[in-house]
C-alpha cells in the first residue's frame, strides 16, 4: 500500500470517528436536525471522507471500499447542492453506512500492519 493511500485511509477513519464523537452525547435525530453547527460539522467530515475516497479511486480505481462511488457522490452533493441536503438521508448514512465503512477501513489498515 502506498503512503498516500494509507494517509487517505487514516483520514477516512478520523472523519468517521469525529462524526461518531459529535453524536455520542445526544444521538437524537431532532437534536441533530435542529442544531445547525452539528449538521455542518457532520457534513464537513463527510466532505473530507468523500474527498479521501475520491483520491484513493483516482490512484486505484478498483480499491475495495464498499460503495466508494456513492461516497464520492455524496461528497459532491454536499458541496455542490448544499442547499438541498436531506437531514434524513445524512442521518441514515451516519447510522447505517458509517459503521460498515469504519469496519472496512479498520480491517484494511489492520491487514497492512500484519504484512
Label residue 93 by pLDDT band (50, 70, 90): very high
Rounded Cα distance, 101 and 63, in Å = 13
Domain hosting 64: range is 3-114
Is 40 designated active site?
Answer: no
- Whole-structure pTM value: 0.92
- 95 annotated active-site: no
- Per residue in 62-92, pLDDT (tens digit) is 999 999 999 999 999 999 998 999 999 999 9
* Contact in structure between 105 and 16 (CB atoms under 8 Å): yes
Q: What's the rounded Cα separation, in Å, for the pair 36 and 29?
A: 12
The mean pLDDT value for 18-36 works out to: 91
CATH of the domain at 109: 1.20.120
- Specify the number of domains making up the chain: 1
What's the pLDDT at 113?
81
Euclidean distance between CA atoms 58 and 53, whole angstroms: 9
Instruction: Give the three-class secondary structure for 23.
Output: coil
Neighbours of 106 (CB within 10 A): 13
- Catalytic residue, from 31, 55, 70, 80: name it: 80
Identified catalytic residue from 40, 75, 77, 95:
75
Amino acid at each position: 500500500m502506498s503512503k498516500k493511500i494509507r494517509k487517505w485511509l487514516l483520514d477516512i477513519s478520523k472523519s468517521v470517528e469525529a462524526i461518531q464523537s459529535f453524536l455520542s452525547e445526544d444521538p437524537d435525530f431532532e437534536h441533530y436536525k435542529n442544531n445547525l453547527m452539528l449538521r455542518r460539522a457532520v457534513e464537513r467530515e463527510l466532505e473530507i471522507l468523500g474527498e479521501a475516497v475520491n483520491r484513493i479511486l483516482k490512484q486505484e480505481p478498483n480499491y475495495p471500499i464498499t460503495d466508494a462511488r456513492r461516497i464520492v457522490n455524496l461528497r459532491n452533493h454536499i458541496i455542490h447542492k448544499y442547499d438541498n441536503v436531506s437531514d434524513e438521508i445524512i442521518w441514515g448514512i451516519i447510522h447505517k453506512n458509517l459503521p460498515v465503512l469504519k469496519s472496512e477501513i479498520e480491517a484494511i489498515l489492520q491487514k497492512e500492519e500484519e504484512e
